[in-house]
Amino acid sequence: MLGTIAVALVAGLLAGAAARPLIFARAVPVGAPPRTRCPDCGAALLSPAGFGRNLLSPLGRCRACRRRVLPPPVLPEALAGLSFAAIAASGSTGWTAAAHYWLAACGVALVLIDAAVHRLPDILTLPASAGTLLLLTGAWLSGEPGGLVRALAAAAALGAAYLVLAFAGMGMGDVKLAPAVGALLGWHSWRAVALGTFAGFLLGAVFAVALLAAGRVSRKQQVAYGPFILLGALPVSLWLA
């Protein structure tokens, strides 16, 4: 078990490092083009496509001027490493585990982008949902315990519920992320869907109240909810795995 956790930890560190350029490029306001240059010195840190050239330091600094840039030092690597280690420690295996690893890898980038600019870009939410559903299909074909039809129904139900909430101010990025967590929770049971969804809302509410009490935000300001969707869903799903 310890060996498996260690391997997962290393894989997570690598996944977090791979996510760093994507976080830097996409942590921009809605409608803005992906960022490829240092906001201070203008040095080209990434190629226009976001791949190839990568002069981003793991310590969160531009390699040209040494100024701090997003994401913060070693944070993506640490989040992904700890998430992967937790998945391995849960005992989840096979295609089901792969679905958790995939959503965690996408989730690290989504959490840090949403925390920085309050958006969940399509380039991450759509692959997160599609990949999770594809891997759960593999789990079903392999005969792993779980329900694919229920997972698909839960993905649709949670997506529809969040779409209704979008009229009350929830972001469309949250709506597009909902099918991924709905499918992962629905793979286990409807009880898991209810618990994971409630946990996300509870964590988000507690965080918002804490920020209000500390005077960090006003009642009219929005709080990034994407991190809490994932923080509520993944632990519940691993607990039931």
- pLDDT (tens digit per residue) in 129-158: 999 999 999 999 999 999 999 999 999 999
CB 19 within 8 Å of CB 109: yes
Q: Which of 5-19, 47-61, 157-171, 176-190 has the lowest mean pLDDT?
A: 47-61
Q: Tell me, what's the pLDDT at 234? A: 94
Token representation of residue 123: 């380039």
Q: How far, in Å, CA of 228 to CA of 43, rounded?
A: 34
Q: Would you say 50 and 34 are in contact if contact means Cβ atoms under 8 Å apart?
A: yes
How many Cβ atoms sit within 10 Å of the Cβ of residue 143? 9
What is the token pair recorded at 230? 């994932």
**Residues 6 or more apart from 26 whose CB is under 8 A from it?**
34, 35, 109, 113, 121, 123, 124
pLDDT, greater one: 6 or 41: 6
What is the Cα–Cα distance from 94 to 74, expressed in whole angstroms?
Answer: 29
**Rounded (to 5) percent helix, strand, coil in the chain:** 65, 5, 30
List the structure tokens of 92: 């989840």
Angle, helices 94-117/122-141, rounded to nearest 10 degrees: 170
Contact 177, 158 (CB under 8 A): no
Query: How would residue 54 be classed by pLDDT, with cut points 50, 70 and 90?
Result: low
DSSP string, 63-113: TTT--B-SSPTTHHHHHHHHHHHHHHHTT--HHHHHHHHHHHHHHHHHHHH
Say which residue, 2 or 234, is predicted with more confidence: 234
Output the pLDDT for position 52: 45
Give the residues across from 68 on adjacent strands.
61
**Single-letter residue type at 146:** G
Lowest mean pLDDT among 14-28, 32-46, 125-139, 214-228: 214-228
Residue pLDDT, tens place only, 153-175 = 999 999 999 999 988 778 899 99
Q: What is the pTM of this model?
A: 0.91
**What pLDDT digit, counting tens, does each position of 56-83 carry?**
777 778 877 888 888 888 899 999 999 9
The conformation of residue 145, written as its DSSP 8-state character, comes to S
Nearest to 16 by CA among 99, 111, 117: 111
pLDDT exceeds 80 at position 223? no
In this predicted structure, what is the pLDDT of residue 58?
73
